[in-house]
Amino acid sequence: MSEIQVSEILERYPADRTSSLAVLEDIQAEYKYLPRAALEATAERLRMPLSEVYQIATFFKAFSLTPKGDYIVKVCLGTSCHVGGGPRILDAVERKVGVKAGNTTPDNKFSLEAVRCVGACAQGPVMLVNDQVYPKMSSVMAGELIDRLAAGEASLGAEEAGGGR
Ligand code: FES
């Protein structure tokens, strides 16, 4: 997918502060983060102080001020998943991608996050890749999934969510 210009996003909405959230959501969706230049352009177009745009950008967890990888991998460490082996899964993924949770690989392929309960306890332990839930994971399965993603072999379709091994 080619990145569209920030100006194209800005033109979709009325040029006032009521558009700020929608604009930032679209920029986040397009770039997977909010580049500084995009925040500056947003502030200018919507006639808002840059500091206010930053406040919005940092208030909502869905926004990121740093670039994210192609695959955003989240390992659940909520109570149920923790008991089921979440920490071992996170450890395996960290070793496999070579960065700790909270970081992105230098090639921008993977961003790794440790998250709290994602509401899929009955399927735990779970991990998510770009919000696709992978149920009943083990450290071995997680490592294999990362390998397939790295090799471009795994699609993020429903067939990947079967799990159960
Ligand atoms: S604890 Fe992991 S989904 Fe609830």
Q: What is the DSSP letter of 15?
A: S
Q: What is the pLDDT of residue 45?
A: 96
Whether 79 lines ligand 1, by a CB cut-off of 6 Å, is yes
Any idea which fold 71-154 has?
Glutaredoxin (3.40.30)
Which atom of ligand 1 lies closest to the CA of 76?
2
Q: Which atom of ligand 1 is least distant from the CA of 86? A: 2
User: How many whole angstroms separate alpha carbon 27 and alpha carbon 33?
Assistant: 7
Taking the CA atoms of 144, 146, 152 and 154 in sequence, report the sign of the dihedral they define: positive
Q: Is the pTM of this model over 0.95?
A: no
Q: Give the separation between CA 55 and CA 62, rounded to whole angstroms.
A: 13
Q: What percent of the chain has pLDDT over 70?
A: 91
Mean pLDDT score of the chain: 90
In whole angstroms, give the CA distance from residue 151 to residue 130.
17
Q: What is the pLDDT of residues 32-89, one digit of tens each?
A: 889 999 999 999 999 999 999 999 999 998 899 988 889 999 999 999 999 999 999 9
* Percent of the chain whose predicted confidence (pLDDT) is above 90: 78
**For residue 126, which of 113, 142, 107 has the smallest C-alpha distance?**
142
Q: What local confidence, expressed as pLDDT, does residue 157 receive?
A: 52
Q: What is the mean pLDDT of residues 95-115?
A: 94
Does residue 114's CB lie within 6 angstroms of at least one atom of ligand 1?
no
| Confidence at 1, pLDDT banded by 50, 70, 90 | very low
Distance of alpha carbon 99 from alpha carbon 153, whole angstroms: 21
How far, in Å, is the centroid of ligand 1 from the Cα of 123? Answer: 8
CB 39 within 8 A of CB 49: no
84 CB near ligand 1 (under 6 Å): no
Going from N- to C-terminal start, the domains of the chain cover 6-59, 71-154
Region 130-143: mean pLDDT is: 95
Tokens of 114: 């440790």
